[in-house]
Amino acid sequence: MPVAVVTDSTAYMPSELNGTYDLTVVPLTVVINGDEGLEGEEISPAEVARALGARRSAVSTSRPAPEQFANAYRKLLEAGADGIVSVHLSSKLSGTYDAAALAAAAVGPRVQVVDSGTTGMGLGFAALAAATAARRGATLDRVRQTAVDHSAQVSTLFYVDTLEFLRRGGRIGAASALLGTALSVKPILHVVDGAIVVRDKVRTAGRALARLVDLAVEASGTGEVDIAVHHLGAADRAGALADAVSVRLGERLCDCYITEIGAVVAAHVGPGVAGVVVHRRD
């Protein structure tokens, strides 16, 4: 059996890829008004969007317990895996990486854990690249390096209607300077060194989305790229965004996915979010 690849539920990979790659996904937990559920299995993005829209609802998230990872690792090793590469969302945004690292230390050196430094399909593209390398028979070290390399080849940009949800979750990072003007500024954020920071500030949603397209094209460089467009309850907005980026990239665009973000990230960005993840192939 080749090296196994594990990731977490914040990769938000599109449904059309289900079964195409050999990946084990460990879910995070979402809590709505005291009721817990596993992301993607027991609680959907729509449920979180509804809860966030109701001001009396309390929404929070928690990392998987180290034992959840340890159980997944042991199962894969017992099934014959040569080793495991476990790649996860930024350690600056969640304790998930730390939980995975604790589990890896308990299970043994055949488990290598990678901090992708991002989330969403920024994480997803890295996990998919690692799974592809594993399928081709790459060694444990090579699969791990593939995950590291492809984590560095993504740019994650997103627009939010309000900074309030990021403020509540404590994940605004350097964007905190905007809090005083949140009602009049439409921020475009991006992930830098694992943290969420402000990339641009515009005055209207329309201008923000147009600027998001410009920034995605700028981030694509000059070679072939894949893109993933994320949204929460904004399918029309996501479709228009994907079309606009696709036209600008032309033949350099290889794969384009549109996928709704899951409950964990939804809880921190709120309804109406639209994001673009650019994955540079070289």
Output b/e per residue, 12-37; b: 16+ Cβ within 10 A.
bbbeeeeeebebbbbbbbbbbeeeeb
Question: Tens of pLDDT along the chain (282 residues)?
Answer: 699 999 999 999 998 998 889 999 999 998 988 899 999 899 888 888 788 777 667 788 899 999 999 999 999 999 999 999 999 999 998 999 999 999 999 999 999 999 999 999 999 999 999 999 999 999 999 999 999 999 999 999 988 876 666 666 555 554 554 554 545 677 788 899 998 888 888 878 788 889 999 999 999 999 999 999 999 888 888 999 999 999 999 999 999 999 988 877 777 777 778 899 999 998
Number of structural domains found in the chain: 2
Residues 145 and 16 in one domain: yes
Residue 36 in any domain: the answer is no
Is residue 187 within 8 Å of 159, Cβ to Cβ?
yes
The closest alpha carbon to 123, from 231, 260, 6, 22, belongs to 6
CA distances (Å), origin 83, targets 73, 138, 239: 9, 11, 39
According to the model, what pLDDT value does residue 180 have?
44
According to the model, what pLDDT value does residue 183 have?
53
Residue 57 in any domain: the answer is no
Residues 158 and 120 in one domain: no
Is residue 66 within 8 Å of 115, Cβ to Cβ?
no
According to the model, what pLDDT value does residue 151 have?
97
User: Of the candidates 91, 117, 151, which is a domain's last residue?
Assistant: 151
Query: C-alpha angle with apex 201: 241 to 169, nearest 5 degrees?
Result: 85
Query: 169, exposed or middle or buried, with CB in 10 Å at 0-12, 13-18, 19+?
Result: middle
CA distances (Å), origin 273, targets 16, 129, 232: 22, 26, 6
Residues 10 and 142 in one domain: yes
Output b/e per residue, 188-202; b: 16+ Cβ within 10 A.
bbbbbebbbebbbbb
**Dist. CA 50–CA 56, nearest whole Å:** 11
The tokens describing 12, both together, are: 């938000």
Q: Which domain holds residue 103?
A: 4-28+63-151
pTM over 0.85: yes
**Dist. CA 116–CA 128, nearest whole Å:** 12
**Dist. CA 138–CA 135, nearest whole Å:** 7
Residue 252 in any domain: the answer is yes
**Dist. CA 274–CA 258, nearest whole Å:** 10
Is residue 269 within 8 Å of 123, Cβ to Cβ?
no
Residues 17 and 145 in one domain: yes
Residues 165 and 211 in one domain: yes
